[in-house]
Structures are given as structure tokens and as C-alpha cells.
Structure 1
């Protein structure tokens, strides 16, 4: 639902009570006039219900009615159709009412006779209302509800005219046929369920004239249905205020509906304020009340408020329910805090609140987006173990996560499993798998899936075509991608910024920057305004060609248009400076970023350190590394590998070994190049045991050593008389260093 401004009708909620400003409710505490069901208001101004005075039967009719009444009262097991066969031809609607007068005290007989009569012709509205009154008086609310609902679900019903006539007949028959106000509750509820909300409001107002108040349960149903539509929201707030003024004593359920409405409108602070005020009006908030506000704060991403509410909820002895936890897990996943989200799942299970399909699917999707495939699988298997059936959304989330992680083979297996279970993939499922194949460069498989998708009656959308365009561009098939773009437009699908960005990226990769710039200009003219990614892509191309002036100019244009550069934009520039040998400009860029409050990341610093290491300037490298630490930027695996290779090259083996130990402790891994550098460095310093240990570790991890290192250890083993190891290393060197190169 779109958020709308509600200030225009919130004035009705302003009320001064005991000098406290209440921004929501136009009423103070009052005596409850509606406890469970409809109750008479007992007002002296209330209009009395009319006396029931049906048409009098003639002598002949009286005799006819007496015969029917006696016959049905004396019947045993015979069906009505048999014993009343002699009366069918002369039976009229008036006779039905007169017979009901005679048998009204036998509820079962009333229903049987009414069923017999309406099989022959539609009963009059008066007789229908009489039977409804009798059903309510006999406490058979289900039957009363069914009879009223059957009338209102008739096709081609003139609602306006029928409402007036039905209301009039119900009021007319009320005094003599039941006089139980619940009959109006039944009618009110049927109107609400049938979606006749305007008529329900009219009925409420009309009943007030007779001193009858609809129950709070029925009013809650009315509020809930009003809040389901955009147009009904304003009415719901008005009803909440005005109905209390005439005596409806709203309960916790009522407040929960209004709290939910306020949160839907983005008015979470106002909802929270109302939650606090509930208790002053004799309505103690329950777990639903708190859960609604928790969900509201989750939607606006205010974690602090969520945590405080959870503490308050538990302090009051209320136990969070599944809805509460679902909201928090969804919020944490949406903001990338998937590890915390999984911890909430464990808390939930410890409290014996069992997560459902939605919770697991949300978590699977979150871990998939973060690239953590192992946890995705763990949650997926846990679902199956707990007999929670994955649906097509769960499978789609799994497939999407696997494809994002480049595991397209596993994704295809899950896709086949999904089909074997009778689950039907939709456009999103197919697009996720198509995108996976495109990222893997397997365009034949991607187009095969596209064709399969069309054959199943599914329509590829803009995201599908964008994935295909991107895949073609990455394979250098820019012309085919361009053709696909035209095909997409012919099908009435408008390319979006992502589609154009994919094509621009493809043009840049094949070195056609001029065409990429032209396409960006066409985007602007067509109203698909280039974004940060568009400019960054072309800047990257200029930087790789050493055209730093043009890259700078693009950055200026981008800033003039109010587009905010990302860290990727700055890293592209930094890489350009470093590749062009402009290291001082790179350092100035970091200083400028920090002055503007833009925090560089490890990649920004890594580019500079790498170039200083290549120049054998370890003093400058260490200064950059210290600056990185001073800004609180955490080194990544590339940082350590760059520094280790630099120190090895400068023969600072003590520093290199210290960094190696530190990176292993942090869970990072050496690259093949770093292993080679460390082994050669230790060997030259005559640290043979350290070199040998690293060489064996390198082989265990499946890395290929340089030929020079194989030569070293072949000689060492030969000199030690280890003939078997010598031959093994010779074979390995030939296979990995010579055969693979050819």
C-alpha cells in the first residue's frame, strides 16, 4: 500500500483530556455499553420498534393454515413433501407466515417447514426475516448468518433497494418475533463480509435511532475490512473516533487494527504513542500490539527501537510470537545482517516457537544474497528434516543464491528437483537460472532456458533480457546483444538503466568506448538517465587506456548532475592513477576522500601498496598500510598477499613471516604467487625447514609452484638420497610446469 499523508484527517483525533494532549483519540474513558453482543442503549431519545401487525387471514385461510399446522405437528417420520402434497397447489406466501405463527415455539419444525416452502418458491422478505429472528432467539447464529448471507449473495441484486427493504422488514419483525439485538449483529456482519461497507455504516447509524448498538466484535470486523482498501483508510479512522462517542467500547483487538493501519501509513511514531496510551483507556496491549509496532520499526529500519520494544514486551511477561520474530528476521536479512538473523532463529526455536516456511525462505534468500551457500544448504536441509515443505519461492531463493555464487550446476540440479516435485517455476525462477548461466558465460544453456520458459507460456521480462544482454556482452557478442535489445523493444518491453549499463559495459570491454559514450548520450535523450554505474563503467575504460583527463571530466559531469560516486567509482580512479604511474595523485585522492567523509576500503589502499611494492619502495608501502590501519580499514586477503610479496622481494623475511602468521589466524589464504615468494625468500636466507614446510603446504592446497622452486627441491631430495621423492617431484614438475604450458 502506498504511504499517504493522513494529516488532513488526523485533526479529528485531537482531544484534551486532563490537560494531556492526545493526538489520536477523540474520546476519554467512558462506561462500556457494548460488552459482548449488541445491547440496547436505553436512551430516552431512542425510537421504539414498530409493532408487528401482519395481514389477517380470512376464515378460509385460517382453516387452511390450521390444517397445515396440525399436519406438520402430528407428523412422525414422513417427509414434508409427502404429507404436505395435498396443500401445495393452494399454498401462498401469506400462508407461510401464518403457519410460522402457529409453530414458532418448535425451532426444528420451523426450519423444516421453511425449507419445504422455499423449495417451491422464493419466500417473501418478511418470512425470511421472521425465520432469521427465530434462529437468533434460538441461539442458532450460524443458521441466521447463512440465511442472511444467501439472500445477499444472489446475482443481479439491486443493493440499494434491497438494503432498504431488508432493513425495514428486519426492524418490522423484530419486536414480535425475537426481540434479540444479536439479529442486527448478524445482518451487520454479513454486509461487511459481502463488502457492502457503505450499507454496513448506514445500518449502524439507523440502529442507533432505535437504541441498539452493534457489538465491538462486529465493529472490529468492519474496521479490519475498511483498512484493506486505500479509500477505506480514512473511514476507518473516522469510525474509530465516532463509534466510541456513541458508546462502542473499543477493545485491544480494535486498537491493534488501528496500530497496524498507522504502521502501514509509515506513522510508526504515532502508532507507538497510541500503544503507550492504550493502557490509560483500559486496554492492555497484548503481544499482537507490540508485534505490530516491532514490525513497523523493522520496516523503517530502526533496530534500536525494535530492541527496546522487545525488552519491554518481555518485561511485561509477554512472549514474542512467530509474527514478532518473522519481522525481525526479515529486517535483519534485508539489511544484510544474516548472521544475526540466524541467531534470532535459534532463540525462536529455544522458546519452542516453531519457524515456518516463510522464516526459512527469508533466511535462505538473505544468505544467498550474501554469497554464503553453505548456510543456505544447511537451512534448506534443516527445513526438510523438520518436515517443512519448501515451496517454489524457497527453491527460487536457493537457485538465485547458488547462481550469484557461480554454482550454476548445483542450481540446475535444484531446478530439476523442483520440477520433479510438481512445483511450477515462474519468471523469477527462470530469470535467476538464466542469469547464472549468463554470468558463467554459458549462453547456449541460457538461451535454451529462455526458449523453455516461452514454451511454458511464461513471458520473459526486462530483467531476463538484461541478463541475456549482459551475458552476451561479457562474451564479446556486443552486436548480438544489440539485436536482442531491439527484439526486446519490439515486444513492448522498455529497456531499463541496467539493460543499457550491460550494453555499455560490453562496448567498453571490446574497446569501443566511443560507441559506449554515444549510447550513454542516447540514454539521456530517451529519459533513461545514466546512473553512477554508467559513469563508473566508462571511467574504468578511460582509466585502463590511461586517459585520466577524460576520466576526471566524467567524474565532474557526474557530480554536476547530482550523482553520488560510490567506493567503486573512487577505486576505478585509484586503479587508473596507479596504472599510469601517478602514485602521488592516488595518495591525494585518498586524502580528498577522507576530507569529504568518504571512507576508502581495502581495495583503495591495495592498489597503491601494490604499485609501491612493484617499485621496491617498502617504506612508502608501510606508510600506506599504517594509514589504512589508522582509518580503521580492515585488511583483506589481497592486502596480506601484496605485503608478503613486497617484503619477500625486499628480503624482509621476518616481516613477511609475521604477516603470513597473522593472515592465517584471520582465516585468509595465501595465493600461489605469495607461496612462491615466501619459499624463494626463505631458501635464499638458508631457512630450509620453513621453505620445505611451505612447499608441502602449497602442494596440499593444489597450487602450482614455479619451475625454479621444483628445481630447488628436486636437488635437495637428490642430495639427501630421497630417490622416490626426487622422481615424484620430477614427474610433477614435467606435468605441471612443462606439459600444461604446451
Structure 2
């Protein structure tokens, strides 16, 4: 009885110890390891406890002593804690970029290895680059059975409209004003989302960067892990962007989470790198596929071929398709269509047609896409006879009957390139063959005629549509209405607007905006404004409508009305674009109302409009043009307060204004600030600096500034400009001193600089100065222009400087050149020669 009580007490003590260890362990795991790792250690702890109880029961059965039992408990505790520490150390050693893939090491950092530049890649020989890019194909298993089915993540429309998805999207849109309360609410909603709903949240984001940031944020939340479907969807979204680094990071995360990788995932990463312009890195993804043990299929190979075609490397794409056969992957119609597209993009239509003809011999029949691709380039070049011949081949050789889709495609492509008459011919031909071209095809022809100003032809098509029972829709009428406005027939456009109501077609915002644009183009912006004010109940103006009237008032010089339109836009929730704001600022500054332009910009900034650096630069330039330098510098300082960093154009405007005011020291300080911020001067910056420094004879300061601005190899051009500018201001002595300094320092200066100075000395009736420059040129083994020296010699002779003229002649003779003819004539006349 006493023995059983001691046994029960020992078990109670053991349970208390286990409970305390559990509490301590759960805190440490939740803080340092994470939810998943905590569960693994929790089950390990249960196993350790079970071993402990089994050992205790064995010891009790063998009547072991109390001291021995206590020592066993301490040993078990020691082993348990050592197991925890070992597990924690292992988990902490896992880096975010770890590359363990099911026990096999997969080096995803290989993206950045042997990166090089695209220029270096172009410099390689074709054979070497082929071996490097295509070597991976030979390492895949040729005999492995390949699945050609492409897996896609289907998101139900109900998921896109789900209230939970909308609420999370609303919270994401308010991310700039997140509070701890909103973030906690988003965390709570996140755990309620199904994988398909989370995919819908990612898909509805207008900015893929926002979707990627939300993906990362959700992955870091405690007690949450993305479903594998979410990773696949994120890669699919990133494949439509240039965010290749984000796609690479998502792929790394999938490796870390040990998520099954699909071939399509690698294809998405390839496309993303291709969009970013990294064709070589895109092909390196195939190496990662091989290391990961992912099966290579035709879909990924087709992606690689398309990447090469999009990267303007058709020859490599052709060789890649040949290598596919070597590893047992037969090119399919998608592969050949990519190659056909590559030929068409290079205007090699004959080669594209030849490839289509060879496709049946290669075991792959062309489809309509193959022919449509070639037809597109034929339509662009207006090669109608060849287009018809291709349609015959399509029918006879490929047994593909031209259908309504074929004719619709041809009509749209011809209209796209402005060939309306040819499009109308195919429309007539399709109707003769019994095909019904809908209002979309007719509208394409109508719009093409309207773009060309052929309004009578467009009206005939409209009447023909009404006779056929194919009622024109609002798009058709809007095309005609816009055409009338383009040719200045605004009255006809108004009549057409009334006829639309009679035919049961209600004009939309685009229709009215086209009419308002015609009124504004004709100088009737006030009438357009009245029509917009009467729009209540008929149609709702949008930002384009307001922008049309805004620019109409601006072109007419009614800037007050234009500013009122801007304020009305903002009041209605439509924000003018930075281009609209900039045009308004320039118009106000042009008439000297710079302060009003500044107030307009500040008001737009307060209302949340997208004011950019260009807008600030326009205001600064306006103040500088009005000689209000203090206001310009004030706006310049305000840019930093509003987190708008000036660019090189902004600095140039300020430096030019400071130079005009003679504040050279302040201009020098501004140039140093520009260089400190890593901004490269523009050619306008150089011209402005040289002009103002030379005007005030600050040559030493100018040379110091140019030494910081220009690399050594560009000094020759700078010295030419400086000497020329000094000559323009009449500072010939300073120009000659600068020339002497340059020659003494053995700088690379060409003969053009010396010729500039010689001509300016001649203009100022100083041939001796030109003579001295010519002598310096001879000393530097530079030969002056013969015609220029003839003019110098004539001037010297006319001023009785015969000694200098003789020396100039001797210099030419010493260098193996004939002396100036003017001096020879003088010598002949002095010797009495006829």
C-alpha cells in the first residue's frame, strides 16, 4: 500500500515537471522556431515522456531506490533539453535561401552565377553559347514518360466576388494608412480564407507588386502557411511582369517549404526573366529544373523557344528545337508557331511559309494560328495576292477551310494597318461565301474609313448595315462621330448624336467626349463646357472628358477657366495626370502668372494628385524666366520637404538662373550638390556653366568645375567650347592664355581649338595673334589650315608685318608644305615679276 502511494506521488511529480517543461517549451518555440517547428518538437516531447514513464514503471517493478529514480529523472530532463537545443540550433541554421530539395541539394543561387552582361554574351562564339544554353537538354532522361497536360489554377467567379475577398482587397488598398487594429483585422481574415479565395485576392490586385508584397506578408504570419496552390498562382501572376527577382524568391520559398514543383512553375520564372530582358538567365532555369528532378516536357521547351524568339534570337531558337528531338521531345504545333512568329517578326515571310509547308513532313500539321501569323505580316505589307495564295494553300494542303473567324481576322488586321478598301473586299467575299460578318467587323471597316477622313464611305457602310439588319451599336456610331469631329464637321456630329437616339442607341461617355473634343478643337470650349454641365441624367463625364475641356480652355488662353476645371475635376474625384498639370503650369508661366502656377501645383498636391519632379521643374523654370530667383530657390527647397528629389534638369534650370544673376559661387555650390547626389549633367548643363563662367572671366573656377564634371577623355571637347565661348565674349587674351596653359600641360587638344582662336583674332583685326597661335601649332606638330593661313598672311602683309609673314612661310616649308599663295605673290611682285 505504501509502495503504491510512493509510486503515485512520483508520477505526480513527474507530471508537474512535464507541465512546466511544456509551458517553457511552448514559449521558446513560439518565439524562436515558429508554429510548424513547435509541433514537431511537441510530438518529440510526448515520445520522450512516454519513454520516461515506461522506464519509471520498469524501475518501480524492480524496486529501484528513490535516489536512482531521481537521477534517472534528471538524466531524462538533461537529454530532453539537449534534444530541444539541438533541434533549435538545426532550425536556426536553416537559412531563408537554403536549397535542400527532398534531400538533394539544389543550388538556386545559380541564377546569379556566371551572370555576366548581355553584351558579354553577344560577344561569345555561337557554338560555345549554344553548348552552354542547350547542354541541359542532354541531361534529361530520354526514356521517361512525359505528361503533356498543362496544369492551371482555376479561380471561380464566385471567389472573385466573395465578400471576404472584397474586404481583404479593401484593407490592402488602405495599406498606406494601416494601424495595428487594421493589421490585426487582416490577420484574422487571412486565416478564414480558402486557398482559392486567397488566389482571387492576389489576382484582383491591379499592381502585381502589391500582390507580391501581400504574399510575403501573409507567409510571415504566425500559425499560417500558404497552400501550394497559392505559390503556383503567384508565379503565374509574376510571369506577366518583369519582377523576375520576385519570381526567383517565390521559387526559393517553394523549395524551402518542400512544395511540389510543376514544370509550369519554371516556365513562369523563365517568362518573367525574359520580360525583364535577361534571356540568358531565363534559359538557366532549365538547369534548375534538371537539378530539382522535375520532368522536362514540351510545354517548358515551348516556353524556352518563345523566350528566344521574343529575345530576337531566332537562330538559337531553331537550334533549340532541333536539340529537343535529340532528347526525345518532339516539337509540336506550338513550337513551330513560335518559330513562324520569329520569322514574321524579321519580315522573312518566305521562310515562314516554307516552314509551314515542311511541318507535315516533320510529323506536325499546321493549324490556323500558323497561317494567321503569316497573314498578319502580309496584311501589314498590303501583299493581297500572296495573302489569297496562302488562303488557297491553307485549304488545299492543310485541309483548313477558311471560316468566319478567318475573315474576321483578316478584316481586323487589314483595318489595323489602314487598308480599308482591301478589308471591304474581304468583307464582300465572306458574305458571298455565306459567312455573316457581325457588327464588330463592320465597325472595324467604318473606323478605318473615319481615320482616313473618308466619311462618305463610312456612312455608306452604316446604311448597308441597317439594310442587312445588322444594327450599328454605340461603338460604330462613336467611330463615325469622332470622324466627323476630326474633319471639322461638328454640326454633322451633332445631328448624328440625335439620330443615335432615334435608332435606339444611347450615346455613352465616349460618344459625348468625342463631340466635346471636336468643339474644343474648333475653339468652342465654352459651348463644350455648357454641354458637359447639362450632362446630368444623360451621361456621366469622366477624367478624359474633363481633360479635353481643360486643354481646350488652355489652348484658347482662358487659363482661369482651365484652373476652375482642374478644381472641379478634383472635387468630382477625378485627378488630373502629371502631364495635364504640367501643361497648365507651362501655360501659366508663359504668360507670366508663375505664382498662380505655384498655387495650382500646391493645391493639387494637397488634394492628393500625382505631382512629380517635372511639375516642380516647370514652376522653377517659370520663376527663373521671370528673374524671381528667390521664389525659384524656395520651390527648390520645398521639393525635399515633399519627398520630390530634383533631377539634372532641375539643377540645370537653377544653375542657369544663378549664372544670369552673376552668382557664380552659388552656382558652383549647386553643381557640387548635384554631383554629390550622383546626378550626371546634361549637355545643356555644360553649355550653361561654360557660358556664365566665361562671361564673368572665372576661368580658373570653370576649369576646376569641369575637372569634376568631365572624364579626362572629354576635356578636348570642353576646351574647344570654353575657348570658343571666350572668343564670343571678346575675351581673346584669356582664351590665348588658356591655350598656352593647355599646351604646356601636354593635354590632348586638336587643331580645331586653335583654328577657332585664329579666326576670332582675325575678326578683331589682330593677325599677329593668329600668327602666334599658328606658331604654337607648329611647335606641337600641328599644321594649320592652308586657307586660314593665307588669310592671316594677307592681313600681316596689309599691316606691313612682313617678317611675321616670312616666318609663317618658312614654317610651312619646314613641314613639307607649300607656302601660302599670298606671300608668293608678294615676293614675285617685289622681284619685279610680271
Q: TM-score, length-normalised on structure 2? A: 0.38
**More contact order relative to length (CA 8 Å, sep ≥ 6):** 1
TM-score normalised by length of structure 1: 0.42
